[in-house]
Structure 1
Amino acid sequence: MDWTSAQLRSLVELTRRGTITAVADALGYTPGGVSQQITALEKATGMRLLRRVGRRVELTDAGATLALHAERILTTEAEAVEALERTRNEISGTLRVGLFATAAAELLPPALRQVRERHPGVTVRSRDMDVDEVYDAVAGGTVDLALGLDYPDVPIPRDPSLRVMELSRERFSLAVPTGAMPGRADTSRPSRTSGASDTSDRPGPRKVSLADTRELGWILPSVRSYYGRAVLTACRRAGFEPQVAHEVTDTAATLALVEAGVGVSVVTDLMLRLRPSRLDVLELRETMERHIVVVFRSFAEHRPTVAALVDVLRTSTGRRPPRREHHGTDKLATR
């Protein structure tokens, strides 16, 4: 059959995502481009692969059969790339990396510098994406590996074909407008700016409970996101329902709103670096964490370029050796 990997990948992604638009977003194409890929695949096979059902499309029996085999073909192709890389005397090749905004700003740049110094033959192509999408992107072969987030309170199902390595852990603090909680904030010194990352000097009086915010407005992403659900779960465990005044996904925008005095939110030191802000950062009594992880397909674990980048990432995050999460029936999570 005269088909291409791009055409097969479009079909496989359609089984995962259900709509042409969602496939286009996942693969970085236009919806028209995805439709052209599927049309070309239908011409190559001589069979109808899709049918329209209202505004959606669904696979025909032929389409479902081809999608199943297409996934195997793409996996075999990726394994062949790995095998070829191992025959080279030096580590070289191109890696496609998916990452979320905070990782793009804070984690990837130093890692790329180290990769360039240690392995000049490795080319990294990065792609910013919604952190809730990175696991599917790796599983579907859209990217070779990705930086993601794991929230212990709200895990998402893991694909058994994925490996997940923990790079670091971050504990959440409470970000409040300057002076909003005077009984607990340290008024003997200026409010901490969000550009600072050292938490060792936070005094005891600044420690608060999530329950202390029950009368305050919150700035949170949608509860449809794993991050939003993680915060909601922690608040409910503390005995209250957060009053969401502003539903915001962007971290820098969240910090700006806290600084403006319109609500509170939870933050980590890495998040605080995205936007220098004047606000109070208070330590929480409750332990609320997120884990920064690197995700790649199991069979790619010994692919030289993947192993090289993973090694650089865990070195640059100061986590060596990392704790490897179990895969298969375990769960995972996000922001």
Structure 2
Amino acid sequence: MPLIFEGRYMDWTSAQLRSLVELTRRGTITAVAEALGYTPGGVSQQIAALERATGWQLLRRVGRRVELTDAGATLARHAERILTTEAEAVEALERTRNEISGTLRVGLFATAAAEILPPALRQVRERHPGMTVRSRDMDVDEVYDAVAGGTVDLALGLDYPDVPIPRDPSLRVRELSRERFSLAVPAGAMPGRRTVSLADAGQLGWILPSAGSYYGRAVLTVCRRAGFEPQALHEVTDTAATLALIEAGVGVGVVTDLMLRLRPSCLDVLDLRETMERHIVVVCRSFAEHRPTIAALVEVLARTAHPGRPPSRTAAGPLNPPT
């Protein structure tokens, strides 16, 4: 992307500009590297190359961290517009084609990677053989920033009505499906029960997600509304690990049907009197929602993001059929 400024020929790349923009969003070289899939050294090299291209110092070291100089902050603001214009140009070019083809970068959380993406990719191969999908597993709370920053073209995420994720006007969020949470307990821990209140398990040890995550805050909000404070014995984000711990008899936790499909487990699943939901959503930038490849993939994802309820089992056999 060559430009001439004050008689100086500057030639930077989109990757260099994106590294700078992500640094304004995430604050550290390490966080930028994780977001973009580089090494920290690779990000530093991108910024150094950008400094050589512009002839300006963009970063300065303050103790053990770095911060943007005034020139770096100024360029970062313009870089966001440059990257947006570039993305809009790609959309315009796609519209000149008579077929849906091209490459899309998709961000998604672990459960979606295991249960939603595989059938979606099969449909993409059948319906749109000219489309290539490249996916990246990431923390579910980071997918919104990843889309806003252009790290990915679209992403599968989660939203919780009890703790909704703030809406960025530059993003479009489309709900694909809704899941209601149930209570998972060790086999035989609450015999004869099919429907319970969260407060009924208030004195039991809990396996909870990080309290700083949207998921963790949503669980805590619903429990407090039910009149108790859950005792977190284990703070676990990974769904398969959570199910394994419940199966081992060390605690209880909330689960959805999609979560239960990740790991066949011998545990009891009880319906909750309280309503706790999560919404599976797809996120893209607002100017790109009508881009042919994105629109096509969103429609495929919408058809595959409706999980069915798996059979829940204990060591004694099937448990808790729908009532």
TM-score strictly above 0.5: yes
Question: Where does residue 38 of structure 1 map in the other structure?
Answer: 47
Counterpart pick for 1:136 among 141, 145, 154? 145
- Residue number in structure 1 paired with 2:185: 176
1:92 to 95, 98, 101: 101
Q: Write the mapping of 1:1-335 to structure 2, written as runs, cut at 5 A.
A: 1-184=10-193, 206-317=194-305
CA–CA separation in structure 2 for the residues paired with 1:34 and 1:243:
41
Letter in 1 for 2:207: I
Instruction: Deviation per CA, 1:238-276: give whole Å up to 9, x if none.
Output: 111100000111000000000000000000000000000
The 3-state SS of whatever aligns with 1:125 is: strand
Aligned equivalents of 2:234, 2:213: Cα separation in 1: 15
The one-letter amino acid of 1:258's match is: I
Deviation of 1:221 (Å): 1.3
Give the SS at the match of 1:154: coil
Amino acid at match of 2:272: L
Q: Specify the SS of the correspondent of 2:196.
A: coil
| Cα distance in 1, alignment partners of residues 287 and 226 from structure 2 | 42
Query: C-alpha displacement at 1:57, in angstroms?
Result: 1.2
Task: Give the paired residue count.
Answer: 298
Matches of 1:40 and 1:263, distance apart in 2: 52
Q: Show CA shifts across 1:59-81 (max 9, x none).
A: 11000000000000000000000
Structure with more strand by fraction:
2
Shift of 1:158: 2.0
CA distance in 1, matches of 2:65, 2:35: 17
Flag structure 2 segments of 5+ consecutive residues without an equivalent.
1-9, 308-323
1:275-314 per-position Cα deviation (integer Å, ceiling 9, x unaligned): 0000000000000000000000001111110000011111
Alpha-carbon distance in 2 for matches of 1:16, 1:87 = 34
Which ranges in structure 1 are unaligned for 5 or more consecutive residues? 185-205, 320-335
Q: Is the 8 A contact 1:21 1:31 kept in 2?
A: yes
Q: Aligned-pair RMSD on alpha carbons?
A: 1.0
TM-score, normalization by structure 2? 0.91
Shift of 1:318: 5.2
Partner SS for 1:215: coil
Shift of residue 55, structure 1, vs aligned partner = 2.1
Residue 297 of structure 1 aligns with an amino acid whose one-letter code is R
1-side partners of 2:79 and 2:115: how far apart? 36
Q: CA deviation at 1:317?
A: 2.9
Structure 2 counterpart of 1:121, which letter?
A: G
Query: Which 4+ residue blocks in structure 1 deviate beyond 6 angstroms?
Result: none
Bigger drift between 253-262 and 213-222 goes to 213-222
> Per-residue CA shift, 1:2-42, capped at 9, x if unaligned?
10000000000000000000000000000000000000001
Structure 2: distance between partners of 1:311 and 1:170 = 19
Query: Which whole-Å CA distance do the structure 1 matches of 2:171 and 2:30 have between them?
Result: 25
Is the contact made by 1:91 and 1:304 (CA closer than 8 Å) also made in structure 2? yes
Report Cα offsets for 1:124-145 as digits up to 9, x if no partner: 0011111011000000000000
Q: Helix, strand or coil: the match of 2:245? A: helix
Q: CA deviation at 1:183?
A: 4.7
Deviation at 1:207, TM superposition (A): 0.5
RCO higher in 1 or 2 (8 Å CA, sep ≥ 6)?
1
The amino acid across from 2:11 in the alignment is D
2-structure distance, mates of 1:105, 1:33: 29
Aligned residues with identical type, % of pairs: 89
Cα shift at 1:54: 2.0
CA distance in 1, matches of 2:129, 2:243: 38
Q: Which amino acid aligns with 1:292?
A: I
